[in-house]
Amino acid sequence: MTRRGPLVAIAALSALATLPVWISPAGAQQTDRAKQIGGKLVCGVGTSVCNCRQILTQCNHVGCMNSSAMLKTLDQKVAKGDSEEAILQAFILEFGREVLAEPPKSGFNMIAWLMPSFYLLGGMVLVVLVISRWRKRPAAESAGAARAASQLSPEFLERARAEAARQTED
């Protein structure tokens, strides 16, 4: 009997140690799913109390009652097994389209998705044009400088050289 005591204790400890592995996968998946869906929602939309407009799962606004209520609703919907689209539609019905962290990719909202690409493309074209003009410019400036130098009188050039030599000697 004395040999069974340590064996039973080790078995009990092993069972307790593996208990979270058997229990948590559904809970962990549920919270991960809730975090993923909550990352697509904005806190404090349409209320005068908070209106912090932070990502729902990252809201750190002190005293924000909206985030806790919204997170509780989100957790309940995830626990029921609702699809992501159904959950998002429920929040849109309750708070309006402003509850979405990113605009939907349809209709007039496509401008919000396309304009950064247009700005990048326009900026690249502008840079290429500026660089090509800079590359053409030095040849024109050096020809202008040569013409200007040829128009100076020999006396003026001699005086300028003498002045430069005098100032560099000191």
Phi, psi (deg, nearest 5) at residue 14: -65, -40
pLDDT by residue for the chain (170 residues), tens only, comes to 466 777 677 767 666 666 554 443 334 445 788 888 888 888 876 655 566 777 888 777 776 777 778 888 888 888 888 888 898 898 888 888 888 888 777 777 788 888 999 999 999 999 999 999 888 876 656 666 666 666 778 888 899 999 999 998 86
Q: For position 28, what pLDDT does the model report? A: 42
Q: Which of 26, 24, 34 is nearest to 72 (CA)?
A: 34
Q: For position 129, what pLDDT does the model report? A: 94
Domain locations along the chain? 1-102, 105-170
Triad 11, 15, 19: Cα angle to 5°: 175
- Partners of 164 in beta bridges: none
35 phi-psi bin (left φ>0, alpha ψ -120 to 50, beta other): alpha
Assigned architecture for domain 1-102:
Orthogonal Bundle (1.10)
pTM beyond 0.75: the answer is no
